Amino acid sequence: MANKARYPYNRAFKDIYHFDECIDEFLLTCTRTVIETDSEGNPILNDSGKPIQSKQWVRQPSVLNFAVHMNIDKDTVYEWAKKFYPNNDQYNRGGNRSDSYKRLLTASENYLQNRLDNPKANTVGTIFALKNNFNWKDKREIETNHTQTHQLEGISTEELRLLLGDTEEDKAI
């Protein structure tokens, strides 16, 4: 009975709106709002004189944690995400609702990225998760389709040397 109180939803989502509502509710449980303070514990004020507030993560907003929150298997979440958010993005043509599943993934990536700034966090594990789940890379890869052709047919060796600026010393080599 304890599970019914903690997980009030059915194993299947009724529709896309129910799926979005469940994700939005889950994301609210992952953060808390705190007032920023200085080293003496006094609130830091903005230009208007109001305390600066920020959000802190209290738990990781991941697909796995969402599945646990809903008392379902993570594969069910992936199946429903495929159903509601197909690659052709037909989801947005009928209305102006937000894409909660993409926000869940973005929040998860943001959580992991913020962990990189924490000296107590396992940065190796965090980088591993970012690489495997969010296509982060160690190096910058640049793809180019540029092709360059040279019209060297019919040019003699002497003319090539003149074009390249070879000297008499280079000819001896």
pLDDT (0 to 100) of residue 3: 45
Q: Which amino acid is at 121?
A: A
- Which whole-number Å values give the CA distances from 39 to 12, 36, 45, 46, 57, in the listed order? 48, 10, 14, 16, 21
∠ CA 129-130-135, nearest 5°, is 120
54 SS3 class: strand
pLDDT of residue 66: 93
> Residue 146: its pLDDT value, please?
65
pLDDT of 150 reads 63
**What is the C-alpha to C-alpha distance for residues 116 and 134, in angstroms, rounded to an integer?**
15
Give dist(CA 60, CA 133) in Å, integer: 14
Residue-by-residue pLDDT tens, the chain, 173 positions: 444 444 444 456 777 888 888 899 999 999 999 999 999 999 999 999 999 998 888 999 999 999 999 888 888 888 888 777 665 444 444 443 457 888 898 899 999 998 998 888 888 999 888 888 888 887 776 777 766 566 667 778 888 788 777 666 655 55
Model-level pTM?
0.61
Cα distances from 151 to residues 55, 145, 147, 148, 154, in angstroms, run: 62, 20, 13, 10, 8
- Tell me, what's the pLDDT at 173? 57
